[in-house]
Amino acid sequence: MSASVGLGDTAALALGAGILGTGGGGNTYIGRLKLDRQLRLSGAPCPVLNVAQLPDDALVVGVGMMGAPTVGIEKIEAGDEVARAVQALAAHLRRDFDALVINEIGGSNALEPLMCALQLGLPVLDGDGMGRAFPELQMDTFSIGGIPASPLALGDCHGNIAIFERLSSPLQAEEWARNLTIEMGGSAALVMSLMSGAEVKAHLVRGTLSLALKMGRAVLQAREDKVASPAQVIAALGNGRVLFEGKIVDVERRTVQGFARGRMSLQAFDTPDDCMEIVFQNENLVAWRDGDVQCCVPDLITIVTLEDGTPLGTELLRYGLRVAVIGMPAVRELKSPAALEVVGPAAFGYEDLSYTPLPGDLLPAAS
């Protein structure tokens, strides 16, 4: 990829990140506005580094926001929350960071690290810890690979910063950070997964920033050309396929333990008996067609508007929307037995559902 992200790239990046968000990850419209503004203030694009170029003894850390997307579109950030939390953690460690890591390439969490990197004069790595979005902190390749969740920093718009010096497990991190995030107003800057260059080389899902850009550009181009449907274009780029086209005929959402759990029903346009059911916990988890599983976590289930391929967050879903459902295979890093324990269907409560992966991987094997 080009070694930087500039103003001309943000439309595509926001679109691609929304696609990889599989329904979650945060509002990319706000995310894009913030990044655009920072790019104008900085007067230069955000440098992007291939992780192979990073020295083994470098120090990097993952960044993003945690909280509710409904809060994110209302209580917009002050703008320097993440940067301040990174600085606080650096001061605590008495060491500077060499680069920032995108924790989650889905939704606005793909854009936030770039804004922070511009503010701190650091590069971001081309990659992330998921190759998609997930609802909980322990659900990334860093935690799965044994990188401790602590030290972990959380910050709010007032400049309050908490550093968790020691957390016994990633699950403990999820619980404590979640509760403090509520205290901070439902949205907080998150800095976690402190890694050496060698460690991040071992655990980073490489090339996902490039993939988001590529997907976004392809959708923009497809809208222009009107030859192939945007959904087909997305599926092709993600090694997946369009699972279903139809309209949403029912959305049922309920709140369980602080998550948006729910299900939606879709109906095919021509044959109303042909139905798809999708369950979600913030992100889309499992899709059934006429009772048969078509796709499930950690594979990606992305819902886009039929005509222009705009990705839909789970909270934007509503009756009557005409959509395409795209299934894409997860990155291979999420398919090991250890990873599937954390991000497979059983981790989301579908114990009796065995994971039958979609063929292939989201990204081709590294050469």
Question: Which residues contact other proteins by CB under 8 A?
Answer: 24, 29-30, 33-34, 37-38, 66-71, 73-80, 135, 157-159, 178-179, 181-182, 185-186, 247, 253-255, 257-260, 269-270, 282, 305-307, 310, 312, 314-316, 318, 320-322
Q: Which of 198, 206, 194 is nearest to 55 (CA)?
A: 198
Whole-number minimum distance, CB 258 to other proteins, in Å? 3
Assign 188 to helix, strand or coil.
Answer: strand
Contact residues for 346 (Cβ-Cβ < 8 A; gap 6+): 340, 353
Please identify, using beta-carbon distances, which residue of 31 and 207 lies nearer to other proteins: 31
Please identify, using beta-carbon distances, which residue of 160 and 239 lies nearer to other proteins: 160
Whole-number minimum distance, CB 324 to other proteins, in Å? 11
Please identify, using beta-carbon distances, which residue of 145 and 246 lies nearer to other proteins: 246
Q: Which of 178, 127, 122 is nearest to 149 (CA)?
A: 178
Whole-number minimum distance, CB 206 to other proteins, in Å? 27
Tokens found for residue 68: 């509710």
Please identify, using beta-carbon distances, which residue of 67 and 197 lies nearer to other proteins: 67
- DSSP for 59-79? EEEEEEEEE-HHHHTTS---S
DSSP tag of 345: G
Whole-number minimum distance, CB 31 to other proteins, in Å? 11
Whole-number minimum distance, CB 252 to other proteins, in Å? 9
Whole-number minimum distance, CB 170 to other proteins, in Å? 16
Please identify, using beta-carbon distances, which residue of 255 and 367 lies nearer to other proteins: 255
Q: Which of 200, 86, 139, 128 is nearest to 347 (CA)?
A: 139
Please identify, using beta-carbon distances, which residue of 68 and 204 lies nearer to other proteins: 68
Whole-number minimum distance, CB 207 to other proteins, in Å? 27
| CA angle, 205 then 82 then 141, to 5° | 20
**79, 142, 160, 322 from 124: Cα distances, Å:** 18, 16, 25, 36
Please identify, using beta-carbon distances, which residue of 96 and 225 lies nearer to other proteins: 225
Residue for token digits 């508007």?
Answer: 305
Q: Which of 156, 182, 181, 177 is nearest to 167 (CA)?
A: 177
Separation between Cα atoms, residue 280 and residue 273, nearest integer Å: 22
Decide if 327 contacts 300 (C-beta within 8 A).
yes
Please identify, using beta-carbon distances, which residue of 55 and 159 lies nearer to other proteins: 159
| CA angle, 364 then 52 then 216, to 5° | 45
Whole-number minimum distance, CB 136 to other proteins, in Å? 9
- DSSP for 97-163? -SEEEES--SGGGGTHHHHHHHHHT--EEEEESSSS--SSTT-SHHHHTT----SEEEE-TTS-EEE
Contact residues for 53 (Cβ-Cβ < 8 A; gap 6+): none
Whole-number minimum distance, CB 269 to other proteins, in Å? 3
Please identify, using beta-carbon distances, which residue of 211 and 222 lies nearer to other proteins: 222
Whole-number minimum distance, CB 66 to other proteins, in Å? 7
- The most distant pair of C-alpha atoms in the chain lies apart, rounded to whole Å, by 63
Separation between Cα atoms, residue 77 and residue 100, nearest integer Å: 19
Please identify, using beta-carbon distances, which residue of 162 and 316 lies nearer to other proteins: 316
